[in-house]
C-alpha cells in the first residue's frame, strides 16, 4: 500500500487527508480491519515506538494505552496480585496469568481507566486470544501489533460492529533519520529522536543515598521511554513494571508532578480494601464504576455515596473514605519511581513526589537550583540519577 486516504485530518473540516511515504515506497503497516483516522494513526505510530523500545531495553513484552498522542500508561508483562486484578476489573479473565502480553495490557489499561476510555492500544508482541478477549470488552478505538493469532484477529474484527481498527506493523521497518513536519506552511526538519534509553543513563547518582535496586532501574527505564513519547512538559510515576501516573502537556513542571501524582495516588487507592469492597450493583458497567470510584476518592464523594445517590449504584451505602485516611495510606508507601522529561527547577516537585511514596528519581539535571533539588531528595532519603538527557516530544 503506497498511500492511505483518510476520512479527514484532525478535525472533520480538514480535508483531504492521507498518509504516504515521501520516497514512494510502501507503507510499513497493513490495515487488517476498520478505517483508522488521522489521530488514530498518530497514536499508532507513537505508541508502537514506545512498546518496541521497552521490549528492546528490558527484553520483556510491553503494552501501552494511548489517548490524544500521549500514553495513559505503559507496562511490561509481569504477573499481577489478586488485589490488582480486582482493582483493574480483570479478576474474571481466564488464562491471564499465562499470557504476559495480556497482563501487560491489563496493567496499562488498568492504570488510569478514566483516561483510557476509548484508547489506542500498542503491543510489542503478537496479540493472543486472552489479550483479544480483554480488549473486546473495553471501549477502545484500535490496536497496532506485529501480529495476531487467527482467533484473536477474528475476535477483534467483531468489535464495534465490525469496525474496530486493527493494524499490523512491519517490525523490520526502520524510519529515515531525518523527520519533517509542516506548521503554517513552514517545513520543520530534525533528526529523529533515536536516543537509546537503558541503565547507562542512571549511573550518575547525585544524592547521598545511592542504593538503586534493579527493580527501580527497570521502572525508571519504563518511565523514561514513556516520557519520550508523551507530549511535553511531562512527568511520569512508575512502580512494579508499569507507569502508574502520567502528567502530560502542562506548562509548569510542578503542575505535571501534581497531575501525575494524583493519578498515581488513585492507582494505589483503587487497591485499598474500601474501594475493592464497594458494593456495586451487578448491572453497573465498568465505565460507570470507574466514574463512581473517581468521585468516591474525591472531595465530591457525597455525589455517589450521599443519601439519594448511593441507591443508584450500590446495594448498600458505602463507608466514607475521608481524605485524612487516604493520605495516611499513601504516606505508608515507599519505592515508587519518578521520571521527568526535563530538569526540576525547584524542590517543590520533590516535596510533592514524596507524598506519593517516591523513592527513586531520574531527571536530566542542569537547573541552576540543582543543589536545592538534591538537598530536598536527601531530606527524604531518595535516590536520584541525573541522566543529562532531555526528552521533550511535540
Query: For residue range 209-230, what is the model confidence (pLDDT) as tens digits?
Result: 999 999 999 999 999 999 999 9
- Mean confidence (pLDDT) of the chain: 96
Q: What is the mean pLDDT of residues 31-35?
A: 97
Give CA–CA dist 24/20, Å, rounded: 7
Task: Supply the residues annotated as catalytic.
Answer: 67-68, 233, 394
Q: What is the mean pLDDT of residues 184-196?
A: 94
- For residue 329, the model assigns a pLDDT of 94
- For residue 290, the model assigns a pLDDT of 96
Give the pTM.
0.96
Under the banding of pLDDT at 50, 70 and 90, the label for residue 114 is very high
In the chain, % of residues over pLDDT 90: 98
Taken in order 52, 57, 59, 63, is the CA torsion positive or negative?
negative
Per-residue model confidence as pLDDT tens digits over 333-362: 999 999 999 999 999 999 999 999 999 999
Q: What is the mean pLDDT of residues 298-305?
A: 96
- For residue 273, the model assigns a pLDDT of 96
Contact between 330 and 271 under an 8 Å Cβ cutoff? The reply is no
Contact between 105 and 113 under an 8 Å Cβ cutoff? The reply is no
- For residue 65, the model assigns a pLDDT of 97
Under the banding of pLDDT at 50, 70 and 90, the label for residue 166 is very high
Q: What is the mean pLDDT of residues 88-95?
A: 94
Amino acid at each position: 500500500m503506497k498511500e492511505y486516504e483518510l476520512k479527514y485530518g484532525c478535525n472533520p473540516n480538514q480535508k483531504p487527508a492521507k498518509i504516504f511515504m515521501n520516497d514512494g515506497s510502501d507503507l510499513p503497516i497493513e490495515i487488517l480491519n476498520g478505517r483508522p483516522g488521522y489521530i488514530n494513526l498518530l497514536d499508532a505510530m507513537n505508541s508502537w515506538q514506545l512498546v518496541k523500545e521497552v521490549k528492546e531495553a528490558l527484553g520483556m513484552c510491553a503494552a501501552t494505552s494511548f489517548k490524544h498522542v500521549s500514553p495513559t500508561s505503559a507496562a511490561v508483562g509481569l504477573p499481577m496480585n489478586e488485589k490488582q486484578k480486582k482493582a483493574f476489573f480483570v479478576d474474571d479473565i481466564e488464562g491471564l496469568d499465562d499470557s504476559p502480553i495480556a497482563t501487560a495490557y491489563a496493567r496499562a489499561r488498568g492504570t488510569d481507566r478514566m483516561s483510557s476510555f476509548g484508547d489506542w492500544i500498542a503491543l510489542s508482541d503478537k496479540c493472543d486470544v486472552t489479550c483479544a478477549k480483554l480488549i473486546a470488552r473495553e471501549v477502545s478505538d484500535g490496536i497496532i501489533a506485529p501480529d495476531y493469532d487467527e482467533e484473536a484477529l477474528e475476535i477483534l474484527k467483531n468489535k464495534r460492529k465490525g469496525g474496530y481498527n486493527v493494524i499490523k506493523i512491519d517490525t523490520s521497518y526502520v524510519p529515515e533519520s531525518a523527520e519533517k513536519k509542516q506548521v503554517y506552511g513552514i517545513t520543520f526538519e530534525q533528526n529523529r529522536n533515536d536516543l537509546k534509553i537503558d541503565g547507562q543513563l542512571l549511573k550518575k547518582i547525585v544524592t547521598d543515598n545511592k542504593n538503586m535496586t534493579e527493580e527501580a532501574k527497570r521502572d525508571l527505564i519504563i518511565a523514561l521511554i514513556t516520557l519520550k513519547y508523551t507530549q511535553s512538559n511531562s512527568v511520569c510515576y512508575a512502580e512494579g513494571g508499569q507507569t502508574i501516573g502520567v502528567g502530560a502537556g502542562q506548562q509548569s513542571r510542578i503542575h505535571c508532578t501534581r497531575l501525575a501524582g494524583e493519578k498515581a495516588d488513585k492507582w494505589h487507592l483503587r487497591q485499598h480494601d474500601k474501594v475493592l469492597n464497594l458494593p456495586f450493583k451487578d448491572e453497573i458497567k465498568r465505565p460507570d464504576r470507574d466514574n463512581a470510584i473517581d468521585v468516591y476518592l474525591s472531595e465530591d464523594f457525597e455525589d455517589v455515596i450521599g443519601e439519594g445517590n448511593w441507591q443508584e449504584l450500590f446495594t448498600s451505602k458505602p463507608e466514607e473514605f475521608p481524605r485524612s485516611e487516604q493520605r495516611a495510606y499513601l504516606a505508608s508507601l515507599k519505592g515508587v519511581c519518578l521520571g521527568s522529561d526535563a530538569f526540576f527547577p525547584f524542590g517543590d516537585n520533590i516535596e510533592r513526589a514524596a507524598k506519593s511514596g517516591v523513592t527513586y528519581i531520574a531527571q536530566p539535571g542542569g537547573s541552576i537550583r540543582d543543589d536545592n533539588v538534591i538537598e530536598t531528595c536527601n531530606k527524604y532519603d531518595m535516590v536520584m540519577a541525573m541522566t543529562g538527557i532531555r526528552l521533550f516530544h511535540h
